[in-house]
Amino acid sequence: QVQLVESGGGLVQAGGFLRLSCAASGRTFSRNAMGWFRQAPGKEREFVAAISWSGGSTYYASSVKGRFTISRDNAKNMVYLQMSSLKPEDTAVYYCAASKLVGVTTQYDYWGQGTQVTVSS
């Protein structure tokens, strides 16, 4: 079992930046691929970014590529999502997720409670 707690969300103006953090606890964190997802009001949850267990591989949704960066610190059991050049359409609840797999994946087994990001125009 992996427990995930997100933080760092908030209100920011378009063009601004935020860094989301995800604290993981439970089973060996360093062996889990990690990801970030988001869900806007009235929309389905969508994939944002993923990182392999070592941090050596990353993958991004086309809508955020070049603006968002996912990273991890296995010594601290932390995953981060650095978001820049934010747009109003980035407004959503952002979720951290952990996979039982080690490589970049779309399959996730554990989820955090989410943190709200609101981008004003």
- pLDDT tens string, the chain, 121 residues long: the values are 889 999 999 999 999 999 999 999 887 666 889 999 999 999 999 999 999 999 999 999 999 999 999 999 999 999 999 999 999 999 999 999 999 888 888 889 999 999 999 999 9
Question: Concatenated DSSP letters for 67-79?
Answer: TEEEEEETTTTEE
What does the radius of gyration of the chain's CA atoms come to, in whole angstroms? 13
Q: What pLDDT does residue 103 have?
A: 87
Determine which helix (DSSP H) or strand (DSSP E) holds 12, and give its type and residue range: strand 10-13
Residue 104 has a pLDDT of 86
